[in-house]
Structure 1
Amino acid sequence: MAPSTVPTVTLNNGVEIPQLGFGVFQVPDDQTTAAVTAALETGYRSIDTAAIYGNETGVGRALAASGLPREDLFITTKLWNADQGYDATLRAFEASLGKLGLDHVDLYLIHWPTPARDLYRDSWRALERLAAEGRIRAAGVSNFQPGHLLRLLDGATLTPVVNQIELHPGLQQAELRTFHTDRKIATEAWSPLAQGAVLDEPVIGDMAAKYGKSPAQVVLRWHLQLGNIVIPKSVTPARIRENFDVFDFALTDEEMRAVAALDRGLRTGPHPDELN
């Protein structure tokens, strides 16, 4: 499938992001270059990394070797908790940029709110500066709850373009997604397959059999039809290709409701109020 067939989501600042991207969470740096290379060869053009993943250098190697025009790529990285604060954020961004080997990133996110440290508003001012300087095309957040977002927006000059949150059939976060919609913040799903925890659900298996797809493909299709931006990760080339092959079928309204019924508050990561 050609990259041009991947739908895009227009963010609140007019920038377009591919709705399906490739994540590298928990991928060791020495495996990242091969994984990202396989993803780019498959047709992914959006790559999501983070400072704490320790693999920005591996991502950068793959980007440099790909020969793809920079304007065809959408690169996201994230500010780690220990680097929050205005000046520290600017320094951390420069470090990430150097590891990636880029002169700008398309999307820069505050990785967690870490509310007990109460520095995310200072970090957001730094992201607003980076956006004004053209160092980042878009500024967003990750793992923010409504209260964190409201406090961030108080006095801010930019609204986050996305909030990247844990989201999958077992944890659907309907209230937070509605909050996003009301404020024109796009919802981006990390751990979209719940690290495999939802793939054994019989209702998903039945849909997979019906469409001749894998359970993972069914769940990714559900995300896309909800309007989520989604960033599955894998280091296996066959799985990387499989996760991309989700544009030739569609779930019915009844099937979408059946997946919605699987919500049970299942978190695979920490609660945003508790991570500091």
Structure 2
Amino acid sequence: MTRTVYVNGEYLPETEAKVSIFDRAFLMADGVYEVTSVLGGKLIDFDGHAKRLKRSLSELDIREPLTTEDLLAIHRELVARNGIEDGLVYLQITRGSPGDRDFAFPDPETCAPTVVLFTQNKPGLADSPSARTGIKVISIEDIRWGRRDIKTVQLLYPSMGKMMAKKAGCDDAWMVEDGAVTEGTSNNAYIVKGGKIITRNLSSDILHGITRAAVLRFAREAQMEVEERPFTIDEAKAADEAFVTSASAFVTPVVEIDGSAIGTGTPGRVAQRLREIYLDESRKAGV
């Protein structure tokens, strides 16, 4: 079945959707995006994604083309039109198409942002086999630009990192800068040692994960100890367990890094409990 997508105010069959070749996301990676999970037909953490989107647009001086209420209505309409029970809604806003290529930003009064949304159907999204078996990661150098806190469409190096991991027979890569782990290619990274959850503190070095914020809140409410600081690959190898969080992977255990088993080499108790809490609470709060 052909999906219905949203492009600049219109709901269209995906086969009829078009964006200009002069759009700055295509030419300059000049745009931002968000991905919101859908469980049981409800949007998970929508408010958090909407707030981060607003911040990303502000940081790049891209004007907001729609209100949060408008975006919520579009998300819901796409979920309904495409019959999504479990899946994802992808949202991208770019600086738009000025009609030609130029390094200088176009006048925002004459160049409207481009808004695109589409759904991805993912039956059983919350029942991923990797949540039961855990994933294996490799470490790679982090050579991305310095504003990783802005969720831009500049995803080439993370994509390359995914492919490096696949070539090594693993699932993902953790990026390392100045000796410390920043984050995974599409997720925030954590280790657990002596019952303490350790994850890098917020800064421009990492994406301010919406799932990260929720998971850490739930962890503290459950009386788990949390320490926000950088950690090294050697610390990860010596940890009792490890995991990652993201909007689509929720909380997923990591069982191996660079060929070394973490803890027992099986998903740890803390990661499993946090996944359970996160999914339970998020389903209750879905919109």
TM over 0.5: no
Q: Counting helix residues as a fraction of each chain, which structure ranks higher? A: 1
Going by fraction, where is strand more abundant, 1 or 2? 2
- Which of structures 1 and 2 has the bigger CA Rg? 2
Q: TM-score, normalised by structure 2?
A: 0.27
Superposition TM-score, scaled by structure 1 size: 0.28
